[in-house]
Amino acid sequence: MASKHTLSREEQPQRWPLPPRRRPDLADFSRASLIAYLQTAPLDEVDISDPMYWETDTNSIYFKRLRDEAPVHFTTHNSDRHRGFWSVTRWADIMAVDTNHNVYSSDAHLGGITLFDMDQDFIMPMFIAMDPPKHDVQRKAVNPIVSGPNLASFEGLIRERTREVLDGLPRGEAFDWVDRVSIELTSRMLATLFDFPQEHRRKLTYWSDVSTSDAEIPGNPQKEERQAILMGMLQEFTLLWNQRVNEPPKGDLVSMLAHNPATRDMPPMEFMGNLVLLIVGGNDTTRNSTTGGVYEFSKNPGEWAKLRANPALVESAVSEIIRYQTPLAHMRRTALEDTILGGQRIRKGDKVVMWYSSGNRDERAIENPDAFIIDRPRARQHMSFGFGIHRCVGNRLAELQLKILWEEILARFESIEVLEEPERVPSAFVKGYKSMMVRLPA
Amino acid sequence: MAHVTYIEFNGTPHTVDVADGVSLMEGALQNGVPGIDGDCGGNAACATCHVYVADGWMGKIGERSESEEAMLDLADGLQENSRLACQIFASDGLEGLVVSMPESQH
């Protein structure tokens, strides 16, 4: 029986392949079965990092119970796979962890920022997985591209592309919104930010998916294959780097990294790490909120009617979509010293997982949190972007992209019919959609 | 209570009453003053209530905490008179305080 603390690497070196995951003894793992199971299962028997709870969108049942019964809770079940982790599920406790970077580290060498440790044979330093002071100088190197005044210069381009993509959609027939809209728009934006060849933009989506994919899911690249794919990404970007470093500085991310004193001498793995960060940060998140919004409006026709009647609500609607989707379900920290959190004794070295997806549904912080309400009085107060020094640097760009998208949808479509339940990503980190079939009025 | 004047980036002033003990971020949100977002609800955890404090007031509003310092350090347009409005609390001593907003909150 594992202790109620994270096992150290000495106690449990990183293994590959991971030992098999123990699952509950159920007749099947359908959504209905998992809902029934999670309603009454002993809290200690559930390993919520299991992708099946995310693919079936059943995890929120467990988090509601944790918030009420055990808001800072340690999971030992399957600890031979993840070494054991704390789940922090209430808004206030998440805020306490997120704002205390002196105690709760993001360092890649301690495992980084996701529940499952970063591959320690393939450490990619990136500023989200660094502590101050290095984090601060690298973040500042890319910050200007997503600051308010610079975003204004993107607005026309984003609107033009959004119109083009929406005008190109088929009418009166089924199509996949994820592929035709969500991926299309985010990959074009990302290619612009990097000044990466637009014709190869889907490579960015591919690299993003590979870098966050769970190697255990059938069809996903395994450890060595994943490393090789990311090395390929590094190669392509190194060509761009070499080109940009010999040109005068300009406004794209590669040029900014190549010319900024804080980043221009980065070793290759660190360049790769920061690329992964910026690609995932600009891709997975907005993509899934783009899909999630359509899904939530289809489930809440009254809210859609409200928005159509009053398009000025688009800004608060965007915040509500981002809260409701919570495109990154969690961020993880590692305790640098013994401390107390929510009455629980956290020990140095423990993994502490902040479940933003749960904090965003915490009744103690948000009124009627399970309802999708586009005109909440303080819609901006959600935790999908995280808080503290690692707060999402691209949040304003994400909001701008989504605002323009919904303005242009309102101008075109009286409804978007969701034809069946979307296929969700099996991941406790990226909370998103693989596909969602929809139909526009003919 | 204090009359606090918030000046938008475009120069538009808004003078509102902020009750004792209420933060300038809350004062702005409650009175619909544009240009302050307050995304984190007042925890010095997001820097979306960044303001510039008018000359002569910096010595009267307390010091930046470590967490406020950390967030401001990453904010756009940091100046010596930058503060997070959620960390400044109204009192009689702040009657007539003037703060102005940056071009955008980030």
In tens, the pLDDT along A269-302 reads 999 999 999 999 988 899 999 999 999 999 999 9
pLDDT at A237 over 60: yes
Listed residue (A135, A111, A128, A115) closest to A336, CA to CA: A111
Assess if residue B61 is contained within a domain: yes
- Our count of domains for chain B comes to 1
Residue B13 lies in a domain: yes
- What's the rounded mean pLDDT across residues A179-201? 96
What is d(CA B103, CA B69) in angstroms, rounded to the nearest whole number?
Answer: 20
Mean pLDDT of A160-168: 97
Q: Which of A90, A381, A385, A393 to mutate to test the interface with B (most CBs of B within 10 A)?
A: A381
Matching residue, tokens 């099947």:
A28
The minimum CA-CA distance between A322 and chain B, rounded to whole Å, is 13
What average pLDDT does the structure give for chain A? 95
C-beta separation of A191 from A183 below 8 A:
no
Specify if B35 maps to a domain. yes
Helix axes A223-245, A268-299, angle to 10 degrees: 110
Helix runs in A70-220, H state only:
79-82, 91-98, 134-142, 148-167, 177, 184-194, 201-212
> Is residue B16 scored above 60 in pLDDT?
yes
Segment A400-435, tens digit of pLDDT: 999 999 999 999 999 999 999 999 999 999 999 999
What average pLDDT score do residues A45-66 get? 97
- Partner-chain contact A387 B46, CB within 8 Å: yes
Q: Work out the average pLDDT over A7-27.
A: 89
Closest by CA position to B70, among listed B52, B49, B45, B40: B45
For a pLDDT cut of 90, what percent of chain A falls above it? 90
**Is the residue at B51 inside a domain?**
yes
B53 has a pLDDT exceeding 50? yes
The domain of B32 spans 2-18+26-93
Per-residue pLDDT reduced to its tens digit, A352-406: 999 999 999 999 999 999 999 999 999 999 999 999 999 999 999 999 999 999 9
Position A185, amino acid: L
Indicate whether B98 belongs to any domain. Answer: no
CB contact B49 to A (< 8 Å): no
Its ipTM equals: 0.95
Prior bond of A17 cis (ω within 30°): yes
Residue contact A380–B39, C-beta within 8 A: yes
Name which of B39, B65, B87, B101 to mutate to probe chain A: the one with the most chain A Cβ atoms within 10 A of its Cβ. Answer: B39
Q: What is the pLDDT of residues A308-337, one digit of tens each?
A: 999 999 999 999 999 999 999 999 999 999
Checking if the pLDDT of A27 tops 80, the result is yes
Q: From CA A361, how far away is CA A357, in angstroms rounded?
A: 7
Interface contact B38-A381, CB threshold 8 A? yes
Give the CATH number, domain containing residue B89: 3.10.20.30
- Percent of residues, chain B, with pLDDT higher than 70: 100
Residue (of A375, A373, A266) closest to A313 by Cα position:
A375
Do residues A26 and A46 lie in contact, with contact meaning Cβ atoms separated by under 8 Å? no
Residue A1 has pLDDT above 70, yes or no: no
**CB distance from B27 to chain A under 8 Å?**
no
Q: Is residue B102 part of a domain?
A: no
Cβ-defined contact of A136 to B104 (cutoff 8 Å) = no
Q: Which long-range contacts (CB under 8 A, 24 or more apart) does A135-140 make?
A: A135/A106, A135/A389, A135/A390, A136/A389, A136/B73, A136/B74, A137/A262, A138/A262, A138/A263, A138/A274, A139/A389, A139/A393, A139/B74, A140/A262, A140/B74
Residues in A lying within 8 Å of B, measured between beta carbons: 95, 98-99, 101, 132, 136, 139-140, 143-144, 146-149, 151, 365, 378, 380-382, 385, 387-389, 391, 395-396
Give residue A370's pLDDT. Answer: 98
What domains appear along chain A, each with residue ranges and CATH number?
A: 40-439 (1.10.630.10)
Q: Looking at residues A429-442, what average pLDDT do you find?
A: 97
B14 forms beta bridges with B6
| pLDDT for the residue A255 | 95
Q: Tell whether the model's pLDDT for residue A2 goes beyond 90.
A: no
Q: Is A172 left (phi over 0), alpha (psi -120 to 50) or beta?
A: left
Question: Which candidate, A315, A292, A317, places its Cα nearest to that of A304?
Answer: A317
